[in-house]
Structure 1
Amino acid sequence: MTPPDSALRHALARERAHHEHCRAVLAAMVDGAREHVVTGEDVSASGADAEVLGRRLRGRARALRELPPGPLFFGRLDFAETDTVGEHAGQHPRPEAAEPALHLGRLRISEDPAAPPLVVDWRAPVARAFYQATAGDPRGVAVRRRFGWAPGSRGDSADLTGLEDEHLGRGESRTSDIVAREIERPRVGPMRDIAATIQPEQDDLVRAGLTATVCVQGAPGTGKTAVGLHRAAYLLYTHPQRIRSGGLLILGPNPTFLSYIAEVLPALGETGVRQSTLAREIVRHPVTGTDDERAAAVKHDARTAEVLRRALYARVRVDAADSLAVPDGSYRWRVPAEELARIVADVRDEEPPYTVGRERVRARIVRYVRDRAERRGGPRTAAWVRRIERARPVGAYLDSVWPGVRPEEVVAGLLGDPDVLARAADGLLDDDEQKAVLWPARTPGSWRSARWSAADLVLLDEVAGLLEHPEGYGHIVVDEAQDLSPMECRAIARRASFGSLTVLGDLAQGTTPWAARSWRTVLGHLGRPEAAVVPLTTGFRVPQAVVGLANRLLARLDVEVPEARSLRGDGELTMRPTAPGQVTGAVVDAVRGALTRDGSVGVIAADADVPRLREALDAAGIPAAGPEELGARVAVVPASVVKGLEYDHVVAVEPAAIAEAEGPGGRGLHRLYVVLTRAVSRLDVVHGRPLPF
């Protein structure tokens, strides 16, 4: 329980003094990191070692320098016995205290690397007890203390305004008011980290092992995106060398979403992590062409991968009739036609990447010649081998039986020639599907004149992966994964051949034509069919009133996901039926009402209605930004880009229009489900037409 006023004032004074000391030490750490970079330039080591050390020192200095201002700790653990602290035994910041205690924050702070920490990183093994300990299983914790900081604090010690203690060692269990206030705090601007409020089920996912691929089916407001980002930070902390050598990639659905989450990892002390979209990762050409819905669906279908493979390997000729004469000075080495056919057939049966296969054929031809040359005249030098490899007849033969090729040539040759497509797609795509993906007749020319669509870029990436394995990552976090097509999943899988994945999404929020209805399907295409699927159903952000409305819609979405529930009973849901011609005025009134409260306001409507609504708000003297301006008080957001974003107060405009905007047979109700669950405090539904649920 919180101590009496005098005891509370005394405790706050001690904690503020400790925070002041931590601030001074952190400043010294930043200065010291800069100094180490300078002195590290003159280390006595090999060039490679010095480069690695320099990169590490510069990265550490940059991470400390770029750490956003804010409180340096959010919790404290007092242990019942010193030995329960494990590897941190004796590392108590105040030796004169009677009990061992550890402050927890977003990064480790110590006066010296070998000195006991003043603040322990939230990712350290000992910190897990802060998130997992309960009255029934205290894990050696006597008291769990949480600190209350003024909203938006930049780390001034005076902003420490409260604390609450939970005496787990006495069997005391309580709901944290500080955690509740932090979760419910109005949000304007980018997404915040949740290091101070991680729940036990979230902590289990965050600390999953490096080799484990985890799929999180997260209902709205359950923190699945935050879990994925905190798992990335945890892996960087726990396996720094393995992750940094392989790289870590965060994949989001669009640039707006990436802007929204961009500050989370830096706030946790991790900089330099690549955050991108799949479109950016696979881009080879600007998107200048478009596909109709039918063509795009076929191109994104998994069967198209086999069509492309056939089209590529149709270029390989196993039955070349002529033998090969390889010059060696005045002599000619003859390679019989049947031996050449055997070499090509064997390599093709081995199914290496296409470019590797071409070079493997070359190497085996050279080995055949070398074996005969050494039988005749003894060992051959490396220079001799290189000369044979580069012999013009060898290159000409390779060009005839295993020609070099670019992805663009394969895709353009397939989509631009109905005969080539028919042969490659035989038994895979029917006539209508083939007609759908064929490029319209145009003036003959090279692939350089092609107008590539977004779906074509996925095909190009597939062929590029058949030619050579792409450089992979040590770990990839994929958000909104339910919207990935089979071919997009394959593009990600190629980049995670030797690494693991964190797959995040909600099947109920799938809005693309190929959105998945089963995680097993998605995981199969990602090459991880046996990965664990973990549901998160308890919402911490979206109020129960809003979740209840969304659950009414969930039954009509044709996906098997559990209903969400919320721990928040403080939200507000207001239905605003109005005459069809008065919807815009009702929206303006709803926004005016929302502005009397704290927090951000998101006006979400069908894409076609957005310009009209912005004009109406401007005319009413209410400045309204677009979704890309994350700090704006009022934003008018097209329904097509709102996924992943959150607003304290949402005004959902004409749900029927949002659902119909996806077209007949589309996933309009899924889009509406996304819209309704963007509110984290209050939701107004303005409609002049009957609701579609």
Structure 2
Amino acid sequence: MSSQVNGRPTDHGGTVKDREIAAEQRYVDTAYARLEEMRADAQAMIREGYRQSLAGTKGSLVDRDAMVHQAALRVQALDIADDGLVFGRLDLASREVRYIGRVGVRTSEHDSLVIDWRAPAAEDFYRATPEDPRGVVRRRVLHSRGHTVVDLEDDLLDPEASEGMTVVGDGAFLASLARAREGAMRDIVATIQREQDEVIRAPADGTVLVRGAPGTGKTAVALHRVAYLLFRHRRRFGSRGVLVVGPNRRFTAYIERVLPSLGEGSATLRSLGDLVEGAAATVHDPPALARAKGSEAMAAVLRRAVADHAPGAPGELRVVFKGVVVSLDRDRLDRIRNEVHRRSRGSVNAARGRAAEMLLDALWRRFGEVGGPEAAEAEEGAEAGLWNAILAADGLASLDEEPARGDGGGNGGGDPKRAQFDARVREQRAFTDFLVAWWPIRRPLDVLRSLGDPARLRRAAGRDLDRADVEPLAASWSGGDAPLSYQDVALLDEIDALLGSPPRPSRRRKAPSEDDPFVVDGVNILTGEEAVDETWEPEMQELTTSIERLERSRRVDDGVVEDRPEYAHLVVDEAQDLSPMQWRMLGRRGRQASWTIVEDPAQSAWEDLAAARRAMEAALGGERPASRGRRRTRKPPPPRVRHEYELTTNYRNSTEIAAVSARVLARALPEARPARAVRTSGIEPVVRVVPEADLGSAARAAVEEVLGQVEGTIGLIVPLSLEEAGGQAALFGGPATAWDAADRDRLGAGLPERVQVLDVLEAKGLEFDAAVIVAPETVAAQSPRGLRVLYVAVSRATQHLTVLTTDPAWRTTLLTG
């Protein structure tokens, strides 16, 4: 018979669990010893790569780079696996034993010591259940600190086949749920359940859409899917990379340890505020501003803003040819500008050459309109008569008797008079200076800041923006030091797509004349080519790999500007909050990508869900966002394969806390169904009514009380600041409910690091062992989606929930519904 115990003392000394832990420790020690040998082999490969480079040939340098790169990746993966290498064991009905870990470990004879959790042989660790054991008799989870096994839990899946087998503990998964959270999210690789594992191992093609209520493990599942895809399809996803996008920086900091702990360090993590090179969001817009900035109408507004003349652009162009003054006024210049934008199919920043040609065309036409050709012929006739008189006095032939010659103009065999006109006008400083000022090379931030001028924004708005939104929008962009919001970053990306990159330097560079009027600061203003002296010789270019170039394109601190990267796979968390403009931003990074989308419509803080859904469908379909108002003539891409999943079990919250969040959800979205909580803690949530003036002190006291009750993290979650709430805090107002950054700093002063003070939007996607929610009535009143935001806040805690309210009615709502 099997010996099923819970750590009871035995006659043999110690407990059954102690003996089992000691046995597992011996096996884990063997695995670590082999891991150290593998690490030494990888280090030896690095040294061998450098030794081979001593041959001095170009081939040896390439071999060195390839060998060192691969060996370094191997060392990194082995180093990452060093903490908690082995976390699971399967005992099969066939008497085979499999150990599951972060990376695969084999003996020197290639026998398996540890199976990588992503390998097919490890699937049963996650998918086996008592209803469908899949040949698994016992599943054991090992808990380690560093190299030491400190605890273990067993699940007995097939009792009839467990003869002679010791089973310890009450079940691995539920025990893991009660463990303290750390400041950074820990992976749940050892406790993934079947419905989650189906998502992780879903087909790699197309889109995987995961829906689930708070606490169902959506984020962890998405991150484990990234690690799984990189393991099973390394060549496909490793070459162009994987991008994981979260709602804010707190969230990305929270999850940044997960992928490395799973053996993957190659994915890129970004928040929605960090996706554009050189820009970083620091604030959230008030609801009304966010709605305007994020709406799909902003795409048309920004197209007009890019097509408008730059601030300070001259309103008149005046040149002189053959003594005739030729000028173009603002109306003509605006028509030319519009025509350049209509004809330009590429970058606006690269269209300066086309703009110069169209200006010359307009000047030539204007030259004819003012009688320029007749005046020029008269001037030429007078000049010719004067020279003929001089030549006749010297006994020479007249100019009329010389053979006809071309003027050497650059008109390609066309009208020589036009060629001469173009050449003379191009040489004039008035023309070149005008061109630089009239068609400058612009940056996205320059265009966005220019919309801080209400008159300019009105021109760009057309009929696409509500007139009441113009002044607040302009105010948010005025001033060179105004902070960027999360919605602003998406607008910068849209402008960047419209402007494009400046002209790239040509590989064939010519020696400029010192008097060349087209060269300004070493660059030809018409072609974009760098001008160098005639002694220039091709310089040695550094050989780089595609991975190195991809990594360089992701860095913002090395001064290297490259094209916007496109990825092989995108993971988007908290997708229900994305605006249409943010979806357009993501779509440009995944035109050929597969996607994993994680969302909970009940948590959505975005108001126009239909518009956001249309933008999401365009992004997932690989459709290029429309630009410059051109209609599409090509067929839309075929729909991609989509796999949809719903996670229904709440693993985070206890049943007591889940009941509170369900009552808030019933007010926010009566038709929504909460996830099923599976763990009862016996700890009832606390809801206290306190005077508004005492909220700050009461919050501190509540945190200090909870500090003695939990060992893990505590979230002190407060309403938005007045600015981020759009002034709505004044509805219930006094200084106690402002909760700006200074207030949050004062609340957190002197508290341990495991206490985080943050607003309700920053709490998205996070979880804590205990949460203290301040002023739920304030949160609910701050935006049209305030109740949904509150629903998110009250579902952050795993063990203790405390709510402080100034309204007795809210105490009743939260505790009894």
TM-score by length of 1: 0.74
| Partner-residue secondary structure (3-state), 2:35 | helix
Check the 8 A contact 2:773/2:804 in 1, yes or no: yes
Aligned-partner SS, 2:191? coil
Aligned with 1:32 (options 25, 41, 66): 41
Q: Is 1:126 aligned with 2:138?
A: no
2:27 to 8, 11, 18: 18
- In structure 2, distance between residues paired with 1:179 and 1:652: 28
Q: For each residue in 1:214-235, what CA deviation from the matched residue of structure 2 results, as whole angstroms up to 9, or x when unmatched?
A: 2322211111111111111112
Aligned residue number for residue 273 of structure 1: 267
Question: Is the alpha carbon distance of 1:399 and 1:306 closer, same or farther for their aligned partners in structure 2, counting shifts above 3 Å?
Answer: same
Residue 520, structure 1, aligned to residue 613, structure 2: yes
Q: In the alignment, which residue of structure 2 is the partner of 1:459?
A: 491
AA at the equivalent of 1:201: E
Q: Distance in 2 between matches of 1:361 and 1:171?
A: 82
Q: 1:38 to 1:605 in 2, by over 3 A?
A: same
Which amino acid counterpart does residue 462 of structure 2 have in structure 1?
Answer: D
Map 1:238-257 → 2, pairs under 5 A: 238-257=232-251
Please give the residue correspondences for 1:534-683 in structure 2 after superposition, counting only pairs within 5 Å: 534-558=645-669, 561-580=672-691, 584-585=697-698, 588=701, 591-592=704-705, 595-606=708-719, 624-625=751-752, 629=753, 632=754, 634-660=755-781, 662=782, 665-683=783-801
**Cα pair distance change 1:15/1:593, threshold 3 Å:** closer
Report the AA paired with residue 432 of structure 1: A
Distance 2:571 2:699 in 1: 41
Aligned match of 2:576 in 473, 476, 482? Answer: 482
Indicate whether 1:235 and 2:229 are aligned. yes
For 2:69, the equivalent position in structure 1 comes to 55
Seen in structure 2, the aligned counterparts of structure 1 residues 575 and 409 have a Cα distance that, compared at 3 Å, is closer
Q: Give the partner amino acid of 1:20.
A: D
Which has the larger displacement, 645-654 or 449-458? Answer: 449-458
Match of 2:552 in 1: none
**How far apart are 1:476 and its partner, in Å?**
2.3
Secondary structure of 1:526's aligned partner: helix
Identify the match of residue 464 of structure 2 among 428, 433, 440. 428
**Which of 298, 301, 317 matches 2:295?**
301
The 3-state SS of whatever aligns with 1:652 is: strand
Alignment of structure 1 residues 468-507 onto 2, 5 Å: 468=500, 470-507=564-601
Question: What residue in structure 1 maps to residue 408 of structure 2?
Answer: none
Residues of 2 paired with 1:291 and 1:132: CA distance? 43
Do the aligned partners of 1:517 and 1:558 also contact (CA within 8 Å) in 2? no
What letter matches 2:619 in structure 1?
L
Counterparts in 2 of 1:288 and 1:579: CA distance versus 1, 3 Å = closer
Percent identity (aligned): 32
2-structure distance, mates of 1:400, 1:589: 61
Q: What is the distance in 2 between the residues matched to 1:352 and 1:489?
A: 22
Q: Larger radius of gyration, structure 1 or 2?
A: 2
2:146 to 154, 160, 180: 154
Shift in CA distance, 685/431, structure 1 to aligned 2, threshold 3 Å: closer
Structure 1, unaligned runs of 5 or more: 81-98, 317-340, 364-371, 375-390
Q: Write the letter of the residue equivalent to 2:679.
A: R
Deviation of 1:79 after TM superposition, in Å, equals 5.5
Separation of aligned partners in 2, 1:195 and 1:675: 26
State whether residues 248 and 273 of structure 1, in contact with CA within 8 Å, keep that contact through their aligned partners in structure 2. yes
Spell out, residue by residue over 1:359-409, the C-alpha distance to the aligned partner (whole angstroms, 9 max, x if none): 99999xxxxxxxx989xxxxxxxxxxxxxxxx999x989999998554345
8 Å CA contact 1:587, 1:653 repeated in 2: no
Partner of 1:214: 208
Note if contact 2:340-2:354 (Cα within 8 Å) is conserved in structure 1: no
Aligned residue type for 1:416: D
Work out which of the residue numbers 407, 413, 426 in structure 1 matches 2:444: 407
**More deviation, 303-312/228-237:** 303-312
Q: Contact (CA 8 Å) 2:244, 2:570: kept in 1 or not?
A: yes
Aligned to 1:330: none
Q: CA deviation at 1:168?
A: 7.7
Contact 1:148-1:178 within 8 A present in 2 as well: no
- Residues 150-204 of structure 1 show CA distances to partners (whole Å, capped at 9, x for unaligned) of xx622214x25554442288599x9961221112212233211111110111112
Letter in 1 for 2:596: T
Letter in 1 for 2:705: R
| TM-fit CA distance, 1:481 | 2.3
CA positional deviation for 1:485: 1.9
1:270 Cα shift?
Answer: 1.7
Cα RMSD (Å) of the superposition?
A: 4.7
- The equivalent of 2:104 in structure 1 is 108
Contact in 1 for aligned 2:476/2:482 (Cα 8 Å): no
Structure 1 residue 351: Cα displacement? 4.8
